[in-house]
Structure 1
Amino acid sequence: MNIEIKEAAIEQLLKMNYKENEGVRIEAIYVGSCSIYVEHELKIDNKNEDDERFIIAGVPILISSESKKHLPDKVFLNYSDGLGYKLYSDDETLRYNLQLKRVN
């Protein structure tokens, strides 16, 4: 898994105070109902046993093994004041207007 965080997003993410064992969780939740799609979320959460942890430019990133199944091999995270966080790949925008929330 390759995660690239753009400078604007790094600046915003470094403003957060991370507790020990916390990180920014990039979550991809498979939703199967009338339509089948993947919902993406961004939150500050504690590291779980099945999480892979990355440190990118000083920002702790968490991705569960389940989320990895539903994310492209390479994802980008960016930020703009107007649209919040944007998660995307080389091929598509996965979600924009993501807001970072603390789980705990």
Structure 2
Amino acid sequence: MELSITIRPAALKELQALHLNEGEGIRIGSSYVGSCSLFADYQLSIDQRQEGDEVHELEGIPFFISEKSKAYLHHELFIDYNPALGYKLSSPEEVYKYDLSLKRADKEEG
């Protein structure tokens, strides 16, 4: 099933104010953290497209999602923004995470 992303107006205003360099977009990341029950951590970052990423372009803003991240996301995503709470990533089924900040991905890894 195709993944869909909806950007709420407050988030769109914030994202459009960002300065993205050529080839950059917003990475929606999720990774298994593990515990006695299924637990995933969620992130938003400014990043370059990686091989194998699914790319969605909304309002001129590219969004990148890796195949690994898709395993922990529902098929419909919402991105919202509140000045007091930061970005919020959610789906119709659940709120993944509040208080997400948007930083450039660390290129020093590895």
Q: TM-score range by the shorter chain?
A: over 0.9
Tell me the amino acid that sits aligned with residue 20 of structure 2: Y
1:32 aligned partner: 34
Answer yes or no: is 1:100 the counterpart of 2:76.
no
- Of 53-62 and 26-35, more deviation after overlay is shown by 26-35
User: Could you say what the CA RMSD is over the residues aligned between the two structures, in angstroms?
Assistant: 1.2
Structure 1 residues without counterparts, runs of 5 or longer: none
1:14 and 1:62 map into 2 onto residues whose CA distance is 16
Aligned pair partner of 1:49 in 42, 45, 51: 51
2:82 aligned partner: 80
1:2 aligned partner: 4
Give the ranges of 4+ consecutive aligned residues of structure 1 lying more than 4 Å apart after TM superposition: none
Q: Deviations over 1:51-97 (max 9, x none)?
A: 11111112111111111111000010000111100001111110000
Q: Identity percentage over the alignment?
A: 41
Structure 2 residues without counterparts, runs of 5 or longer: none
Structure 2-normalised TM-score?
0.89
1:33 and 1:21 map into 2 onto residues whose CA distance is 36
Higher strand share: 1
1:21 aligned partner: 23
Q: Secondary structure at the match of 1:32?
A: coil
Tell me the amino acid that sits aligned with residue 98 of structure 1: L
The question of whether the paired residues in 2 share the 8 Å contact of 1:10 and 1:59 is answered with: no
